[in-house]
């Protein structure tokens, strides 16, 4: 990519030489005309077979009960909640990129937002599975929602779990709306380019008859902007609420005021890591290197680095407060049990993956090397899973009364369920890249338009570009 250097010496957000037409065709042809390739087939195969595993695990679970998992007393939450928090965390990057970066007028978001939003949706779908499945009587889930029951009972609003129900379902709904609204013009494009009548009808009905009228565009833009404005605090709130599940309890290692900010940072951290994990192969396979450029990878790497540092700060603070508070239970847990106790390996790996390895990203060369970046992102994903493992398991297994301490071990069914959701995620993702434009076409055209203006105003362009790209 070094050959197309932008005037300001940084890689461009869009490789030069693209017109409205080329942008449109490149992206929409992936959906409409491009033949199946083996990589997609393999990915889809893996995804759907893991999905079958998921089916098996869930049926077993419903048939026998959560006892098939490793959960016990005192560790009554296990992998299920860990996976839930992990997936929700991953689900943060999408809306963040689309919403916050949109409000900040960051051009480079354009080519990755659609894709990141899709990832968000699918991650939240996976996350949503776990709170349901981990219940003792999942078929009673609706008792957690307000409805006029003959028992004259509504949910217990003080419980963080109820907040969770609302937060996650709201987040899922809003992200879906946001994603769909963004899709409407592109669906219209697909409708208009489809050769096959039926394909055209399918996309057409999804496009709701969008015809790009100027008045529509203006309402559309304000609605889209407002959605972004609403989604921004929502993103922050969701993981805050998730963190309150822990912070609102009395358990040492959970009962910490630092949790909300530190969870949100962690969420963005893992979210961007997952975006990188998925982008790098995608841009290679589907020839999108012109749209998802080194510049994007570079910026995402910077965000990963920054949020990683915040997470590291969180860990440090946990130590400090434990010592500073003089609370014997906190002291024991954080200064003894976690670093040196039964689960010290998980803890140390976590530190390595989340704080140690990301430091490599200080080096620009590494940030701009897709392969290295991809490997680092994998480490971050693992590290963030371990973080949740450490939080959930260590705190519960050694809380207040030594008499009731016990260790926790997952079972094969824990693993199967987790792999199952990964399958679900992969399946949906591969489906998505085949049937919907993975990059927002209309926004790319807009980008092309803006670029023309930049070139027109030559001298000003440099300064302007600086302003825009910072």
Partner 1 sequence: MMKSQNADLDKPLTLTELMRGAAAPEAESTGPRYWRSLSELADDGSFGEMASRAAARAQAAIHGLDEPSRRKFMTLMGASFALAGVAGCGVQPVEKIVPYVEQPELIVPGKPLFFATASSRGGDGVGLLVESHMGRPIKIEGNPSHPTGKGATDVFSQAEILSLYDPDRSQVAVHDGGVDTWERFLRFAVDLRARKLGEKGRGLRILTRSVCSPTVLDQIRRLREQMPEARWHSYEPVNRDAARKGAELALGSPMEASYHLEKADVVVALDADLLGWGPAGLRHARAFADRRDPEAESPLKLYAFEPTPSLTGAAADVRVPVAAADVLLVAAALAKALKVEGAPDLDAKRIEPHAARIAALAAELESKKGKALVAVGDSQPAEVHALGLALNAALGAIGEAVTLAPADELAPADQTASLVELVREIEAGAVDTVLVLGANPVYEAPADLKVAEALRNEKVTALIHLGLYNDETGALAHWHLPEAHFLESWGDVRSADGTVSLQQPLIEPLYQGRTASDVLAALLGQVGVPGRELVREYWKTRLPEENFEASWRQALRDGVVPLPAAEPAPAPPAPKLDKVQWPAPAAPADGEYELVFRPDPTIWDGRYANNGWLQELPKPLTTLTWDNAALVSPALARKLGIEDQQVVTLEFRSSTIKAPVLIAPGQAEGTVTVHLGYGRSRAGRVGNGIGFDAYKLRRADAPWSGPGLKLIPTEGRIPLAITQHHHDTKNREPVKVSTFEAARHHGEGEAHGHHHPDFSLYPDAPYKQSEDYAWGMAIDLNRCIGCGACTIACQAENNIPIVGKDQVLNSREMHWIRVDRYYEGEGAASADNPTTHFQPVPCMHCEKAPCELVCPVEATTHSDEGLNEMTYNRCVGTRYCGNNCPYKVRRFNFLQYTDNETPGLQLLRNPDVTVRMRGVMEKCTYCVQRINEARQNAKVEGRKVGGDEVVTACQAACPTRAIVFGNLLDKESSVSKLQASHRNYALLEELGTKPRTTYLTKLTHGAEAHEEPRHG
Partner 2 sequence: MSGAHATPETPEVYGLMAEFDDPDRLVEVTRDAYGRGFRQMEAYTPFPVEGLDHALGYHRNKVPRTVFAGALIGGLSGFLLQCWSAMYYYPHNIAGKPLYSWPAFIPITFETTVLGGALSAVFGMLFFNGLPKLYHPVFNAPAFALASDDRFFLCIQSRDPLFDPAETLAFLETCGPRSVSVVPY
Partner 3 sequence: MPQVFHPSANTLSRVVLFSLAAGPGALLGLMMLLVRSPYQTQVGVVREQPVQFSHEHHVKGLGIDCRFCHSSVETAASAGMPPTHTCMTCHSQIWTGSPLLEPVRASLKEQKPLAWTRIHDLPDFVYFHHGVHVQKGVGCVECHGRVDNMPLAWREKPLTMQWCLECHRNPEPRLRPKDEVFNMEWTPPEGSELAHAASTATTSAPAEGSHANLGPHPNTMNHVEVGQLTNCSICHR
Query: Where does this chain bind partner 1 (CB under 8 A)?
Result: 63-68, 70-74, 76-77, 131, 134-137, 139-141, 143-144, 151, 153, 155-156, 158-162, 165, 245, 248-251, 328, 332, 396, 399-407, 409
Residue with tokens 């009905």: 205
Return d(Cα 240, Cα 276) in angstroms, integer.
24
**Binding partner of 346, given partner 1, partner 3, partner 2, none, CB within 5-8 angstroms per partner class:** none
Say whether residue 326 binds partner 3 (CB under 8 A). Answer: no
User: Using an 8 Å Cβ cutoff, are 123 and 70 in contact?
Assistant: no
Number of residues lying near partner 2 (CB under 8 A):
61
Cβ proximity to partner 1: between 217 and 400 the closer is 400
Residue window 274-313: x/- pattern of binding to partner 2, with contact defined by CB under 8 A: ----------------------------------------
What is the distance between the alpha carbons of residues 274 and 397, in angstroms, rounded to a whole number?
Answer: 30
Crossing angle for the helix pair 160-193 and 441-456, nearest 10 degrees?
70
Report the candidate in 268, 366, 375 with the shortest Cα–Cα distance to residue 311.
Answer: 268
CB of 395 to partner 3, least distance (A): 30
Query: Kindly report the CA angle at 115 between 112 and 116, in degrees rounded to 5?
Result: 80
Residue 456's Cβ-count burial label (10 Å; 0-12, 13-18, 19+) is exposed
Task: Pick the stretch among 21-29, 80-88, 143-151, 372-380 that binds partner 3 (CB under 8 A).
Answer: 143-151
Candidate segments 170-178, 194-202, 280-288, 455-463, binder of partner 3 by CB under 8 A: 194-202
CB of 61 to partner 3, least distance (A): 25
Out of partner 3, partner 2, partner 1, none, what residue 463 binds, judged by CB under 5 to 8 A for its kind, is none
Is residue 378 part of the contact set for partner 2 (CB under 8 A)?
no
CB of 411 to partner 2, least distance (A): 33
Distance from C-alpha of 301 to C-alpha of 290, rounded to nearest angstrom: 18
Query: In this structure, are residues 11 and 298 in contact, taking their beta carbons and an 8 Å threshold?
Result: yes
Choose one: 29-37, 101-109, 167-175, 205-213; the region binding partner 3 (CB under 8 A): 205-213
Q: Which of residues 6-65 bind partner 2 (CB under 8 A)?
A: 19-21, 24
Q: Which two tokens stand for residue 390?
A: 């450490």
Please list every residue from 139 through 178 that binds partner 2, using CB under 8 A. 146, 152-154, 156-158, 162-163, 166-167, 170, 173-174, 177-178
Under rule CB under 8 A, residue 158 binds partner 3: no
Half-sphere exposure of 153 (CA within 13 A, CB side): 6
CA terminus-to-terminus distance, the chain: 20
**Which ranges of 326-440 does DSSP label H, i.e. alpha helix?**
328-330, 338-340, 344-351, 364-367, 370-389, 395-397, 412-435
Residue 223 near which of partner 1, partner 3, partner 2, none (CB within 5-8 Å, type-dependent)? partner 2
Q: Give dist(CA 160, CA 286) in Å, integer.
A: 43
By CB under 8 A, residue 193 contacts partner 3:
no
Instruction: Write down the least CB distance from residue 39 to partner 2, Å.
Output: 28
Q: How far apart are CA 257 and CA 243, in angstroms?
A: 10
Contact 117, 438 (CB under 8 A): no
233 binds partner 2 (CB under 8 A): yes
Q: Is 449 in the site for partner 2 (CB under 8 A)?
A: yes
Residues 42, 52, 62, 208: which binds partner 3 (CB under 8 A)? 208
Which CA distances in Å does 375 have to 119, 168, 379? 19, 30, 7
Q: How far apart are CA 267 and CA 235, in angstroms?
A: 10
Task: Give the closest residue to 66 by CA, choosing from 156, 155, 131.
Answer: 131
Point out which residues bind partner 3 (CB under 8 A): 147-153, 191-192, 197, 200-201, 204-205, 208-209
Point out which residues bind partner 2 (CB under 8 A): 19-21, 24, 146, 152-154, 156-158, 162-163, 166-167, 170, 173-174, 177-178, 180-181, 185, 188-189, 191-193, 204-205, 208-223, 226-227, 230-231, 233-234, 237, 240-241, 244, 442-443, 445-446, 449
């Amino acid at each position: 990519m070094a050959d197309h250097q932008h005037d300001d010496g940084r890689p461009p957000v869009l490789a030069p030489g693209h017109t409205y037409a080329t942008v449109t065709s490149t992206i929409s042809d992936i959906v409409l005309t491009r033949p199946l390739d083996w990589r997609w087939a393999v990915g889809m195969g893996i995804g759907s077979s893991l999905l079958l595993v998921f089916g098996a695990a869930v049926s077993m679970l419903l048939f026998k009960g959560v006892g098939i998992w490793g959960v016990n007393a005192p560790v009554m939450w296990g992998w299920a909640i860990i996976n839930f928090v992990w997936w929700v965390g991953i689900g943060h990057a999408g809306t963040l990129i689309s919403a916050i970066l949109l409000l900040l007028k960051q051009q480079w978001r354009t080519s990755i937002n659609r894709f990141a939003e899709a990832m968000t949706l699918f991650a939240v779908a996976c996350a949503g599975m776990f709170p349901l499945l981990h219940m003792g009587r999942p078929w009673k889930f609706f008792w957690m929602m307000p409805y006029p029951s003959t028992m004259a009972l509504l949910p217990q609003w003080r419980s963080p779990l109820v907040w969770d129900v609302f937060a996650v379902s709201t987040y899922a709904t809003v992200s879906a709306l946001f994603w769909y609204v963004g899709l409407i013009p592109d669906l219209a494009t697909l409708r208009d380019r489809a050769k096959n009548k039926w394909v055209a009808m399918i996309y057409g009905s999804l496009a709701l008859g969008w015809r790009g009228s100027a008045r529509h565009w203006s309402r559309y833009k304000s609605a889209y902007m407002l959605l972004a404005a609403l989604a921004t605090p929502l993103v922050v709130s969701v993981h805050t609420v998730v963190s309150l599940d822990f912070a609102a309890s009395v358990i040492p290692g959970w009962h910490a005021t630092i949790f909300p900010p530190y969870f949100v940072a962690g969420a963005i951290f893992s979210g961007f890591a997952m975006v990188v994990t998925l982008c790098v192969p995608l841009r290679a396979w589907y020839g999108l290197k012109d749209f998802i450029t080194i510049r994007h990878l570079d910026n995402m790497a910077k965000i990963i680095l920054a949020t990683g540092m915040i997470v590291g700060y969180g860990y440090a603070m946990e130590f400090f407060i434990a010592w500073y508070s003089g609370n014997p239970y906190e002291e024991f847990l954080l200064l003894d049990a976690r670093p040196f106790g039964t689960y010290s390996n998980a803890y140390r790996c976590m530190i390595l993956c989340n704080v140690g390895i990301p430091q490599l990203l200080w080096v620009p060369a590494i940030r701009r090397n897709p392969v290295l970046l991809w490997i680092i992102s994998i480490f971050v994903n693992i590290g963030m899973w371990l973080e949740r493992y450490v939080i959930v398991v260590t705190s519960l297994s050694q809380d207040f009364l030594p008499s009731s301490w016990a260790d926790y071990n997952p079972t094969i069914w824990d693993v199967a369920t987790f792999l199952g959701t990964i399958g679900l995620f992969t399946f949906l993702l591969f489906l998505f890249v085949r049937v919907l434009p993975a990059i927002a076409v209309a926004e790319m055209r807009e980008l092309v338009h803006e670029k023309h203006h930049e070139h027109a105003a030559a001298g000003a362009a440099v300064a302007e570009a600086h302003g825009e790209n910072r």
